[in-house]
Structure 1
Amino acid sequence: MNNRQARLFAIGSTAFAAILFLGMTVDSHRQFPELTNADKITPEVVHGKDVWHKYNCINCHTLFGEGAYYAPDLTKITQHRGEAYLHAYMRDPSKFYDENKHRRLMPKQDLSEKEIVDLVTFLGWVSEVDNQNWPPRPILVTGGFSQAASAAPAVASPGSTPVNSDSDPRALGEQVFASAVPTCKACHSLTPGADGAGPSLAGVVTRTEELLASGEYQGKAKDVEAYLHESIVEPSAHLVTGDMYSAGGTSFMPNSYAESLSEEQIDQLVAFLATLK
């Protein structure tokens, strides 16, 4: 290749790359309104964004993987927690952490109720943005990450009855535990004593038996399996003691599983939880 050919090749390559980049940019902007649900950007969402900036939330947290990486990425937080939990958390984070144990205690910002509601509304809008599965690792308790696309093969958890067959309802229930939306693993640990946004489920069968026999139970279940089923589809039927689990008579656990899971999936999930002695 002589100098003239090299020059033409460089000019042509640069022009092609520039046209390709311009085309991709135009196409991206064409898709942005749909990908970001621009029609759902209400005044409350805008004010919530302003609250996010006003209190410098990005100094610790991240959205879409961008931020300080000191505290969890909040891109999908409303799908993992729910509005009731987030409202109570923002009012007084100290109720949700043991500072001596967790150390990274979120400061109390003294947000107004309007600021809290609109900030949660903003985060709800963020969670619905089609971000092409980024970031790929939703926040969980005990430092783990869920598998968004599919559940891992069933592995016996501490204090559980071994589950070995993929055709076993218990094994299928463990997959539901990992893949339900919101994923159960985002709030519940299977490690004894590792309470998160929800209590650890290690030993849940034993605790349920004790609860049902104590006279303090407030729901309608008569046995362990019925209690586990009730806890999934009607979480406020009986409230677990502790400010970090409920407020105003309402459980922080999402009440959407009766709609998002089939009855068969719920039965499989109950079968798995019933192995956690």
Structure 2
Amino acid sequence: MLTKFQAKLFFLVGTFLFSAVFLLLTYDSLKYVYSSPSSKTLSEEVIRGKELWEKNNCMGCHTILGEGAYYAPELTKVYERRGPEWIRVFLKDPQAMYPGERKMVKYDFSESQISDIIAFLKWNGELDLKGFPPKPELKSSTQLVDSASAAIVPPEKFKQICTACHSVGGAGGNVGPALDSVGKKYDLAYLQNWLRDPQKIKPGTAMPKLPLSDSEIKDLSSYLSQLK
């Protein structure tokens, strides 16, 4: 049983000790933050993007750096997964990208605001998070690709957007079907019409109507028709 003096002394010593530990840990954390290479890439764009992220309560649905809600996809490494062009197209009109599926609000961001959000997501994705978030364990598969198809150079638009969902030669996303032999299944005219409006060709398809110019549709359909 402690005396009144001992209890008071115990309280004071404990308070002082743990306050010192707290201040030491705070100093160490701040020292790490400001010495980190990421602090040198904290541009005005990134700061504006973070302000837009907070203003629109994106964390009410999404998670980033382990914080936020779990209603919508985790976005810490979204820049690495999807790429800037895919994110740009998606933010312009989420519903158009996934008709009848996505419930994300269309915020009507300006081009500059979208660029700021992309800069913010890129900055987060490049942080040294010691392996967080862990990459999912995906079953690897071997794709046999025709040597002639492998030599065909894909258009930039394909590399920027299409590979987020589709793969060629085992490289790319696995959300949509692999496109290795798509040129055997469909002719050039069909591919052009498909890229112009997938919903018109196959109502209810998961393939979005992408904002592609006529020249981009021509380049993409020509490339896809050669994959045999």
TM class by shorter chain equals 0.5 to 0.7
TM-score (norm 2): 0.60
SS in structure 2 at match of 1:39: helix
Q: Give CA-to-partner distance per residue, 1:221-269, whole Å, 9 cap, x none.
A: xxxxxxxxxxxxxxxxxx9x75467845399xxxxxxxxxxxxxxxxxx
Determine which of 196, 199, 208 is the counterpart of 2:180.
208
Alignment of 1:61 with 2:59, yes or no, is: no
Determine which of 97, 102, 105 is the counterpart of 2:103.
105
CA distance in 2, matches of 1:42, 1:64: 19
CA contact under 8 A between 1:36 and 1:128: conserved in structure 2?
A: no
Alignment of 1:91 with 2:92, yes or no, is: yes
TM-score (norm 1): 0.50
Query: How many Å apart are 1:22 and its aligned residue?
Result: 1.2
Percent identical: 33
Q: How does 1:167-178 map onto structure 2 within 5 Å?
A: none
Q: Give CA-to-partner distance per residue, 1:99-152, whole Å, 9 cap, x none.
A: 2xx3x4212111111111111111111222234444x356xxxxxxx14xxx7x
**Measured at CA, do residues 199 and 18 of structure 1 come closer, stay the same or move farther in structure 2, by a change above 3 Å?**
closer
Query: How many Å apart are 1:216 and its aligned residue?
Result: 3.7
Tell me what 1:269 maps to.
none
CA distance in 2, matches of 1:84, 1:75: 17
**Measured at CA, do residues 126 and 210 of structure 1 come closer, stay the same or move farther in structure 2, by a change above 3 Å?**
closer
Tell me what 1:234 maps to.
none
CA distance in 2, matches of 1:2, 1:199: 66
Q: Which amino acid aligns with 1:72?
A: P
CA distance in 1, matches of 2:44, 2:35: 19
Tell me what 1:27 maps to.
28
Q: How does 1:120-159 map onto structure 2 within 5 Å?
A: 120-134=118-132, 136=133, 146-147=136-137
Name the larger-Rg structure.
2
**Measured at CA, do residues 78 and 15 of structure 1 come closer, stay the same or move farther in structure 2, by a change above 3 Å?**
same
SS in structure 1 at match of 2:79: helix
Q: How does 1:220-239 map onto structure 2 within 5 Å?
A: none
Q: Which amino acid aligns with 2:180?
A: T
**Measured at CA, do residues 51 and 211 of structure 1 come closer, stay the same or move farther in structure 2, by a change above 3 Å?**
same
**Measured at CA, do residues 128 and 11 of structure 1 come closer, stay the same or move farther in structure 2, by a change above 3 Å?**
same
Q: Which runs of 5+ in 1 are unaligned?
A: 139-145, 162-185, 190-196, 218-238, 252-277
Q: Give CA-to-partner distance per residue, 1:37-68, whole Å, 9 cap, x none.
A: 11111121122222223333233223222223
Tell me what 2:52 maps to.
51
CA contact under 8 A between 1:48 and 1:121: conserved in structure 2?
A: yes
CA distance in 1, matches of 2:184, 2:34: 52
CA distance in 2, matches of 1:36, 1:60: 29
SS in structure 2 at match of 1:37: helix
Higher helix share: 2
Tell me what 1:116 maps to.
114
CA contact under 8 A between 1:88 and 1:247: conserved in structure 2?
A: no
Comparing 90-99 with 30-39, greater Cα deviation is found at 30-39
**Measured at CA, do residues 187 and 8 of structure 1 come closer, stay the same or move farther in structure 2, by a change above 3 Å?**
farther
Query: How many Å apart are 1:213 and its aligned residue?
Result: 6.3
Tell me what 2:156 maps to.
none
Q: Which amino acid aligns with 1:74?
A: L
